[in-house]
Structure 1
């Protein structure tokens, strides 16, 4: 498909100018296929993965229908996780800059409901949220969906995986029949078809192949029965020493077991699972993305919303039951032309599954002998950064520049020793090179940020 420009679409001139300003000129494959249909008012069922440009594909048609003067909810976007909902809401705000006063409200669990009720009382044109919290607001009657003209189900397959089907059906029942329904999913399990059949009106189907080819990913498959897997995993980590690695397991319990196993070998892995509260989850994702921890162990559901641009390695400790999920997992590495590693462990009973993976990847699989891997080195490599947590955030008017200034000002820490700074409502995290962590902690403990003293701790 040849590249098409946004200017070829029947969009308001102010929207086209804004798209150009934020660097949107050529459409991605999903935008090229879905925008003309969605702008024409059609319902869509679109197969597209994270990073394909799907947010703009559903946001642009949605924004063209918003009536500014009416402050009721006119568009609803359902997402599986808070991270994805936040990401989507931020993208919509950027795209909506061409119109004045378009209010986008994010409604997710793991956050106090009071401030959300306050935001809704002032009106909202677009609501982005997770099914559980949207249901809470519907029960409390703090949200009305009677005037919704666009409903978007983003990463619908993941919402079904997470058991949200009843919540989704209940939410849709609160919306008018005349709405436009846009359904986006990375895979098409049976449940997606049933959802579409029930709630969509003669939907057009759009499919876009994987966001990036796998030519930059070196894949190897190792046969290892359950009792052999921990040793093979240790050998892979020790031999390849990836700068960042996500280890996928099929269950929460296996995640925990692998975490204990690696900890015993001197690693400091992060284990991401559904038992964590939102603050713990945020903290883990920050530590992994800022290079303070180089190993993250997760199930597919727990890894949703994890968007690491530069992931060196993916290890499938368990082979996924669904070959499409396997492709989605390994597609997190080898991005933007960089080389990536993907290792998969499978048991002798699972050999038949490899054929399905080979079929979907359209390539022969490289099966390797775990016996050829060298014995593990004695010491596990440490992550290059350390995270410091500061008990002050956006609500205290703390900004990244304030933290950087407190660290580097007046003969402080050199700027190149400071990594990513993430500021949340009530807490901020700053990554510091390991060798400077002690000095940085001492400097923040003794100094002030924005003229105030805040508690600081090393994670």
Structure 2
């Protein structure tokens, strides 16, 4: 798995979790938090008998659940422990079979897990290790009632780890209700690393498409994750870029799970150069070798901006983040400036793109 040194969240969480503590951790995507909860899971459960389901990991999106499952398979390859990914958009019966067989670890989205609970195929009685990953995003997506239904049926004697980029009212309320004397781990807001070159272009809404085509034409842009605010916007931009001859695909909530997985794998393998996505569809994804992140629509929250930008310059590589700013975006620009701790210099549309390479 190529782990050499622990990230800050791993260094803080792993010893506490192995010791059996409940934890509420403020940690963002790309900080190594998946290993921070999977390594203690393996350590605490590896000697348990294999006839019962012992661990449950809940996530907001299918893609994140699949990614966590893949990481678990890698970390636990020699452990003999089994896992199942229980998410919508994938066949129900194989999931049911794995649940009835009492696989060791269940990694799930709340909605599909509740479906199995209604059919009586998921036995929660032996679960002793629970992870709520990206809890704030689950609440944003309306999963709080589903989470309550699931958590209320779990054994009282268990260990629970909650991870969230932000610690808001709902997160605190859930931690108070369902965690036992949790230890708080505050990694702090992660600002983009120095290896990320951040550039902001002032552009009108109608001229965005011309600007992004100019940018993608630059040979320095080897691969790009392009964020758009809405599903319809993703569809329109993907279609326009494809018709213009760009190698691209898209992920958004209206695509089937199979279509989304295929698009992601093509992007990972370098079969396409550009992936157009909404925030929700791409939440938590860890894709290596992304040279550029492009905010076609500026995110409405500074934390989302930092999440997006953190998807490039991974594994000590360099990367670039380009953000389009319209005349209506003044307020969010000021909030991002505050989060970054410095003034944002707006580059005027069309200025400097050809005189100065993007990398």
For the criterion TM > 0.5, the same-fold answer is yes
Partner of 1:61: 40
Partner of 1:86: 66
Partner of 1:216: 195
Question: Looking at CA atoms only, which structure, 1 or 2, has the larger radius of gyration?
Answer: 1
SS at match of 1:349: coil
Residues 27 and 186, structure 2, Cα contact 8 Å, conserved in 1: yes
Residues in 2 aligned to 1:90 and 1:228: alpha-carbon distance in whole angstroms: 40
Residues in 1 aligned to 2:209 and 2:234: alpha-carbon distance in whole angstroms: 12
Match of 2:217 among 238, 246, 259: 238
SS at match of 1:355: helix
Residues 68 and 125, structure 1, Cα contact 8 Å, conserved in 2: no
- CA deviation profile, 1:37-68 (whole Å, cap 9, x unmatched): 22332221112233433223222333344362
Partner of 1:227: 206
Residues 76 and 127, structure 1, Cα contact 8 Å, conserved in 2: yes
RMSD: 2.5
- CA deviation profile, 1:90-122 (whole Å, cap 9, x unmatched): 4334444565x4332322222222222222232
Residues 223 and 273, structure 2, Cα contact 8 Å, conserved in 1: yes
Residues 239 and 374, structure 1, Cα contact 8 Å, conserved in 2: no
Unpaired runs of 5+ in structure 2?
355-359
The answer as to 2:89 corresponding to 1:110 is yes
- CA deviation profile, 1:180-218 (whole Å, cap 9, x unmatched): 210112333443233323322232111224678521111
Residues in 2 aligned to 1:64 and 1:199: alpha-carbon distance in whole angstroms: 23
Partner of 2:114: 135
Deviates more, 1:85-94 or 1:119-128: 85-94
- CA deviation profile, 1:379-426 (whole Å, cap 9, x unmatched): xxxxxxxxxxxxxxxxxxxxxxxxxxxxxxxxxxxxxxxxxxxxxxxx
SS at match of 1:85: helix
Match of 2:341 among 356, 362, 372: 362
Deviates more, 1:60-69 or 1:243-252: 60-69
Q: Cα 1:239–1:56, aligned 2, differ >3 Å: closer, same or farther?
A: closer
Partner of 1:251: 230
Partner of 1:338: 317
SS at match of 1:46: strand
Deviation at 1:28, TM superposition (A): 2.4
The answer as to 2:141 corresponding to 1:162 is yes
Residues 51 and 211, structure 1, Cα contact 8 Å, conserved in 2: no
Q: Cα 1:63–1:288, aligned 2, differ >3 Å: closer, same or farther?
A: closer
Residues in 2 aligned to 1:61 and 1:296: alpha-carbon distance in whole angstroms: 34
1:293-312 superposed matches below 5 A: 293-312=272-291
1:257-406 superposed matches below 5 A: 257-373=236-352
The answer as to 2:73 corresponding to 1:71 is no
Q: Cα 1:261–1:191, aligned 2, differ >3 Å: closer, same or farther?
A: farther
Deviates more, 1:22-31 or 1:249-258: 22-31
The answer as to 2:103 corresponding to 1:121 is no
SS at match of 1:171: helix
- Runs of 4+ in structure 1 over 6 Å off: none
Q: Cα 1:182–1:345, aligned 2, differ >3 Å: closer, same or farther?
A: same
Deviates more, 1:51-60 or 1:125-134: 51-60
Residues in 1 aligned to 2:218 and 2:205: alpha-carbon distance in whole angstroms: 21
Deviation at 1:132, TM superposition (A): 1.8
Residues 252 and 273, structure 1, Cα contact 8 Å, conserved in 2: yes
The answer as to 2:157 corresponding to 1:144 is no
Residues in 1 aligned to 2:77 and 2:224: alpha-carbon distance in whole angstroms: 37
Residues in 1 aligned to 2:2 and 2:281: alpha-carbon distance in whole angstroms: 32
How many aligned residue pairs are there? Answer: 353
State TM-score, norm by structure 1.
0.71
SS at match of 1:270: strand
Residues in 2 aligned to 1:23 and 1:234: alpha-carbon distance in whole angstroms: 36
Residues in 2 aligned to 1:141 and 1:217: alpha-carbon distance in whole angstroms: 48
Q: Cα 1:268–1:96, aligned 2, differ >3 Å: closer, same or farther?
A: closer
Partner of 2:155: 176
